[in-house]
Structure 1
């Protein structure tokens, strides 16, 4: 069995990660902040958006890749990967603004948790069934 579906979403998520990274770099350069956030609220938000992405996305992709490798249905994989992609984008959008709209942040975390939980349960079912 080979990986066909998850790598496409992994590539899209990697591009989003690079965009978030560049956002941090731009804010650091404009504020001349090399380490930490130096009290810059905008930089602090961008750093946390980037960090949160880095904290959740790799584990979710690993679980999804294992599920695909073990033969999970394509429709399920597309649904969960899309849920993860949209969730991470929504969370990043919501948290990155000083006048934060919590709906985007909450929707992003719900979608991310849904992808993590569903991928975990898929792997457990796959392990138990065969």
Structure 2
């Protein structure tokens, strides 16, 4: 089983993103909200977006790996997801944002979610009670 390794990497990235927000908050003396600071606002959204997408996508990667019984699918989905989330985090973190990183991150995340969902549907054979 490969997905737990990806979960571990995502866990480390999550902590790094959390500490970035905390560090900026401490430097600015802002406990709640963004205090009108664009860098803090972006750090909050990078962390928030990661939190919104990664758990669901990772769950689908896990189910795809389990339903297909093939670790290669976990790598084919997990690696681009990791690259996508790092790209998105980098892009959105920049004050002078290059949208290519953000678009690549969101598009690739969407492709991974769709790919995992399709793989689950195609490889799972649910028992129908009738």
How many residues of Structure 1 are paired with residues of Structure 2 in the alignment? Answer: 127
Q: Is there any run of 5+ residues in structure 2 with no aligned partner, and where?
A: none
| TM-score of the two chains, using structure 2 as the length reference | 0.93
Selected match of 2:6 from 5, 9, 16: 9
| RMSD, matched Cα | 1.4
Residue 72 of structure 1 deviates from its aligned partner by: 4.1
Q: In 2 relative to 1, CA 72–83 (structure 1 residues): closer, same or farther, beyond 3 Å?
A: farther
Structure 1 residues 101-120: aligned runs within 5 Å? 101-120=98-117
Q: Is there any run of 5+ residues in structure 1 with no aligned partner, and where?
A: none
Q: In 2 relative to 1, CA 111–72 (structure 1 residues): closer, same or farther, beyond 3 Å?
A: farther
* Aligned-partner Cα distance in 1 for 2:76–2:117: 14
Q: Which moved more, 1:97-106 or 1:64-73?
A: 64-73
| TM-score of the two chains, using structure 1 as the length reference | 0.93
